[in-house]
Structure 1
Amino acid sequence: MTDRRVRLADLGAWLVKGNADTTDLAARFAREPRVSGWCVRPGYRARLMRAGQPVVLWASGSRGRLPYGVWGTGRVTGPAQPGEPGGPWSVPLDLVVLDEPLRVRRERLRADSRLAGLEVFRQPQAANPSYLTVAQFAALRDHLPHG
């Protein structure tokens, strides 16, 4: 079995997910495309999050309803912080959601052999944060409007 622990030496970007079926992400981001924080699960990954690290926002949900996939990119602005006892942690971000025509669809990314093994494809129900390796993040940038 392959060790799936995240190592800072091969961390390209964090990936945080939001389910657009349970929350109207499209309306939220139409009103305000800047994201200043996101919930993450307590654990070693959250403790590895540091200011300056790249972060990608992944919208998930029922196939075909919306163009799910990468909806935004940005940076972590500080360490993840504990919430209420027993509650989720949050990580501060400086992330901008892309205009809808610029979002990168899940199908396009899955078709790229360099990205077909993304953790978000292998374990779509896993808790935040997920991650991309250095090589995967470089491949993703080929699909983003600003490269």
Structure 2
Amino acid sequence: MTERRVHLDDLGAWLIKGNADAVDLAARFAREPLVTSWCVRPGYRARLMRAGQPVVFWASGSRHRLPYGVWGIGRVTGAPEPGAPGEPWTVPLDLPILAEADRVPRQRLRADGRLAALEVFRQPQAANPSYLTVAQFAALGDHLPA
């Protein structure tokens, strides 16, 4: 499958993923519900990331442990930065994690025809960052608290 190229004119938001089976995201975000940086794969997508762009946090993992899906909405605060040799790149963020009751489960998003084709559904193992189109990001807004 060929990776779809992201174009800024149709970028609604970046999507970064965290695997809650690999790291206890629930405990981490209970202690500190603000994400200030996250790892991203070097490449053309990372080079498109700019301060002010919307970003969505997607928690993934076992389908039965937690209500995985959209756990946070925020903004990119700067360009991604290379890590030390052998370390990943990171992107600076201002990304508050939603209260548990406000998180949007993936089942609800998958059931919304406007969101069923999200890249995170089509390529769940793809590296960060993923993305939402302008139309998809607008549709996501219908599922978020006011």
Aligned equivalent of 2:7: 7
Give 2:145's aligned residue.
145
Whether 1:69 and 2:69 are equivalent positions in the alignment is yes
- Correspondences of 1:127-146 after superposition (within 5 Å): 127-146=127-146
- TM-superposed CA distance for 1:64, in Å, is 1.3
Letter in structure 2 aligned against 1:27:
A
Give the deviation of 1:65 after TM superposition.
0.5
Deviation for aligned residue 1:85 = 1.8
Moved over 2 A (4+): none
The 2-side partners of 1:23 and 1:70 are apart by: 16
Q: TM-score, normalised by structure 1?
A: 0.97
Q: Secondary structure at the residue paired with 1:9?
A: helix
CA distance, structure 1, for counterparts of residue 5 and residue 85 of structure 2? 26
Shift of 1:5: 0.2
Q: 1:86 deviation in Å?
A: 3.1
In structure 1, the partner of 2:51 is 51
Name the SS for the 1:51 alignment partner: coil
Give the TM-score of the pair, scaled to structure 2: 0.97
C-alpha displacement of 1:87: 2.2
Q: Deviations over 1:8-66 (max 9, x none)?
A: 00000000000000000000000010110000000000000000000000000000110
Residue 103 of structure 2 is aligned to residue 103 of structure 1: yes
In structure 2, the partner of 1:24 is: 24
SS in 1 for 2:15: strand
Write the deviation string for residues 66-120 of structure 1: whole angstroms up to 9, x where unpaired.
0000000000000000001232100000000001011000000000000000000
Structure 1 counterpart of 2:84? 84
* In structure 1, distance between residues paired with 2:80 and 2:3: 24
Structure 2 stretches of 5 or more lacking a match?
none
**Equivalent position of 2:60 in the other structure:** 60
Supply the RMSD in Å over aligned alpha carbons.
Answer: 1.1
Q: How many residues are paired up? A: 146
Deviations along 1:118-137, one digit per CA (max 9) or x if unpaired, are 00000000000000000000
1:50 partner amino acid: R
Q: Percent identity?
A: 80
